Amino acid sequence: MGAVGQDVGLGAVEETVRLGGDLRVAVGRIARRLRQAHRTGDLTFSEASVLARLDREGPTTPGVLAELERVRPQAMTSTVGALERRGLIARSADVEDGRRVVVSVTEQGRRVLTDMRQASTMRLARGLEQFTPAERARLEQAVPLLDRLAGLL
Amino acid sequence: MGAVGQDVGLGAVEETVRLGGDLRVAVGRIARRLRQAHRTGDLTFSEASVLARLDREGPTTPGVLAELERVRPQAMTSTVGALERRGLIARSADVEDGRRVVVSVTEQGRRVLTDMRQASTMRLARGLEQFTPAERARLEQAVPLLDRLAGLL
DNA sequence: CCATATAGCAAAGTTAGCTTTATCAACCCA
DNA sequence: TGGGTTGATAAAGCTAACTTTGCTATATGG
């Protein structure tokens, strides 16, 4: 263990820690800036996350969504409630189990996901336009990794 | 302008918007998970951002920091105050202008930046260990882009 | 030398996004 | 059929991270 024979800079562990720190700062800055510029009518982070997940993985119950998003069911109740109030998702009763509720994306919800009217998305897109296509491609390759990383936290 | 002759999927604008949306969800998820797992004694996002910036760019005044972080000077007062209370930065009077205060990183602050005792950094590092070196390299290449992006927002 | 601008700070208020505590209805099993 | 479990919800409270409002001290220009 440890650097033997030659000094090639940092060890693998130290580099990973450093990457973690850098990533934390970068992600934190973007998140803070976006939250700051949040306009009423725009989706919050939690809402956007749930809506995107529902669109990708199909209808589920609030309880399952809570597990996937790593929050208490009570927190999901309020997120789901907010999305429903805006007509982006629909709650329906489960016929097999009267306790259960099934949540699914509405047409309007699907439209919002590809919408440029979302202030945050527009803001990000305008920033991304300043990048070269190669740089955007690099970011695009990083997105699935970031998603996976979020799942591991 | 527009797609002429052949259909190669989405146009450049639509793709940028989609990348923006995906990035927003991914960044939001990581930020929410990290904030959730925040332990007392750990740096907050704003504190980490300011401390990292001070380390990279050297001593400055709270006012300049506020501009760089895109917040009101009053918000920076509290962030700087929190960092000072924990001994990570030092406030000193400017000899040339009695109104000004100069903020600089202390030795302890510099130590914290490369510290694995930070709960968030450890959490991220443990997640990153599940990635292949190639994947970590891809993330590493994305970090400066994310930083630049944050500056454009 | 005085009016105005600038830098920093303090306090109170706001919002997102959680949590814990508490209810209630529906299911399941002995 | 009665008792415990489970799913969803409601209400209240907390923290991070801002904001706006208002103050004080120092600097500066006519």
How many Å apart are B57 CA and D15 C1'?
Answer: 30
Tokens of A47: 């809402």
Tell me what pLDDT residue A118 has. Answer: 83
Q: pLDDT at residue A101 above 50?
A: yes
Structural tokens at position A116 = 């440029």
Instruction: Please judge whether B150 and A26 are an interchain contact, meaning their C-beta atoms are less than 8 angstroms apart.
Output: yes
Cα A69 to Cα B141: distance, rounded to the nearest angstrom:
27
**What pLDDT sits at residue A2?**
45
C-beta separation of B101 from B92 below 8 A: yes
**Alpha-carbon distance B126 to B122, whole Å?**
6
As given in the structure block, the two tokens for residue A113 are 């996901």
Per-residue pLDDT tens digits for A2-43: 444 455 567 778 889 999 999 999 999 999 999 999 988 899
Testing the interface with B: which of A8, A18, A30, A70 to mutate, by most B Cβ within 10 A? A30
Residue B12, pLDDT score: 79
Query: What residues in A contact B149, CB-CB < 8 Å?
Result: 30, 124, 127-128, 131, 139
Nucleotide nearest A71, from its CA to each C1': C18
Let me know the angle formed at the C-alpha of B25 by A15 and A80, rounded to the nearest 5 degrees: 135
